[in-house]
Chain A
Amino acid sequence: MTLLHASSIGISFGKVEVISDLDFSLSSGELVGLIGPNGAGKTTLLRVMAGLLRPDRGDVRIVGRPLQHLGRRQIAKSLAYLPQGGESHWAVTASTLVMLGRLPHRDPWRSPSDTDWKAVDQALVACDALQFKERPVSQLSGGERARVFLARALASEPRVLLADEPVSGLDPGHQLDVMTKLRGLARSGAGIVVVMHDLTLAARFCDRIVVLHNRRMAAEGNPEDVLSPTVLDQCYGIRAFHSSAGGNTIVVPLERTLREPGHGVG
């Protein structure tokens, strides 16, 4: 089932076109990796799909309904967005922060129900963060914070999760934990888009990889097909060592090619 469909998306910031005529679709049960060089428009696309930016052209539908016809609260009930680098402006405890993920589902004037507390704890357990739920987020390490922010997104029990670089800054162990968690969530029926830079990790966990480059979708498909030497050269301007082990594609960037990055594919 298609959970999210973006068709013919075009958006400009002033005179600079950031995304042009892009189609993207996300199905239930799918974990999609969104990759591309810096400035390719990954975050912009994610923000358009989250309803944070209105595209100049095209439209986004969630479960068949156009985003602009839905209220913010309605969108929030089925879609969660995890911004890059997670910020917490006040030193609230981890469980208070995760409880914010329940806001779309809560009665405006009621205190949290048993269902809310259960969802919060499940999300904390899922992200291996229950042990520090009483600690202020300001006192947590980078890895611990990343897990708490992911738990916040999970606590809203979204059908669509859009996560902007949720594993950057994490050690390999916690990168695996987070990706495993996201894949598990996809397997239980959600549709997930993850922006990431680690190509091998993307290949290992994502069902599909979408490469953004020069305002458009440069490639899309199975990880092993998409992460080809041609695509890496054209999009990133790099030559990489390719291998495969246990059915997983391994990509190790080796050197810059002569091509000037950012102007490869038209």
Chain B
Amino acid sequence: MTAVSVPGERIQEGWPLLYPLLILAVIAAFSASLLVGPAAIGLSEVFKALFSGNLETTVLIVREVRLPRALLGLMIGATLGLAGAALQGFLRNPLAEPGLIGVSACASLGAVLTFYTGIAGLFALALPIGGMTGACIGVLLVQALAGQGQSQMTLILAGIAVTSFAAALTSLALNLAPNPFAALEIMFWLMGSLADRSFQHVWLSAPFMILGCLMLATLSRPLDALTLGEDAAQTLGFDLRSVRYRLVIGTALSVGAATSVAGAIGFVGLVVPHLLRPLVGNRPSALLPASALGGAALTLAADVIVRLLSPGREIKLGVLTALVGAPFFLVLLLRYRKRML
């Protein structure tokens, strides 16, 4: 028997405990990120180190090594989760992810070129600057290739073309690497990691990530309207050309900055929105903040796990997310197959 609804009654969409739990998870993962590392530092000492003016080793470790790493994990995770949710909403495809429009591949290429040319060795910020330059060039290319329209198909095709070309050039750089060490350095960087990042990296990337995320956050209503398709969304008052523009620029700034400082961290932008979507009642607008929180929690947690798994020789963060992400993809596939039968 179906319950008869009362007119005017408001419906609670999604799962009410989701936000408190996600926030708790982010706080827990962030704290764990400050606590875990080669040097054994207790909880109270971490707190003391964060807020005292001393310059002891403990204070230095917490403030200069672990805090920037945790902050980057938080921001990069949130960026990847948010950008993934925005792209899936815009393309109305649960398999879309931030890398799809070429931003990550171009940021990687830009960073790799700084290694290849040796500029990376000259000053610390050369690498992220190279990455962001790559992301910017990539996004301009994608926009130019996709044309002035609003169609999602041309955007995907342009993204695929630019991604493949950037990947080919990255391989070429590896192929022609001046010496084995340069090649090894490039390989390690491509795997994606948050190890050995400083506050310089935070200050350099944070403004772009924040600006990009703000642009993506303005998309919540048009993404909701797109649930009904492009025609209906336009007649509900949204200019899809401007929506696509904000999406591409927002993703380029935020994911470009994230990739420039941490390398390619895959699957977060794909898996997080996918897992959380049913829990927010499938609304694209509700998925944006949830996915940002979920992405932050997952990235921070994964970064803690890589430190715990093999303290001596750390597994790269990007390798771990891919190792966990690929089986997840399989589960998705099996679930879809079951639904088809």
A interface vs B, CB < 8 Å? 47, 50-52, 71-77, 79-83, 86-93, 95-97, 100-101, 103-104, 108, 117-118, 121-122, 125, 130-134, 136, 152, 156
Contacts and interface: CB of A to CB of B under 8 A. Distances in A.
A96 B235 CA distance: 18
Contact of A136 (B3, B234, B237, B282): B282
A117 B282 CA distance: 19
Interface residues of B, number: 30
Contacts of A82: 232
B199 interface: no
A47 B231 CA distance: 9
B227 A92 contact: yes
Interface of B: 2-5, 7-8, 10-11, 13, 92, 221, 224-229, 231-232, 234-239, 277, 281-284
The 6 closest A-B pairs by CB, nearest first: A76-B237, A73-B237, A89-B92, A81-B235, A90-B282, A121-B7
A89 B238 contact: no
A7 to B, nearest CB: 21
B10 A96 contact: no
A231 B229 CA distance: 35
Nearest to B92: A89
A81 B5 contact: no
A93 B236 contact: no
Given A83-B232, A92-B281, A72 B226 contact: no
A72 to B, nearest CB: 5
Given A90-B277, A92-B281, A103-B225, A81 B232 contact: yes
B237 A117 contact: no
A153 B307 CA distance: 54
Contacts of B7: 121-122, 125, 130
A120 B8 CA distance: 8
Given A95-B11, A117-B8, A136-B282, A89 B226 contact: yes
A209 B234 CA distance: 27
A75 B231 contact: no
Contact of A90 (B4, B10, B227, B239): B227
Contact of A100 (B8, B227, B234): B227
Contact of A92 (B221, B236, B282): B282
Nearest to B221: A103
B238 A91 contact: no
Contacts of A97: 227-228
Contact of A75 (B11, B13, B92, B235): B235
A24 to B, nearest CB: 18
Nearest to A164: B231
B228 A86 contact: yes
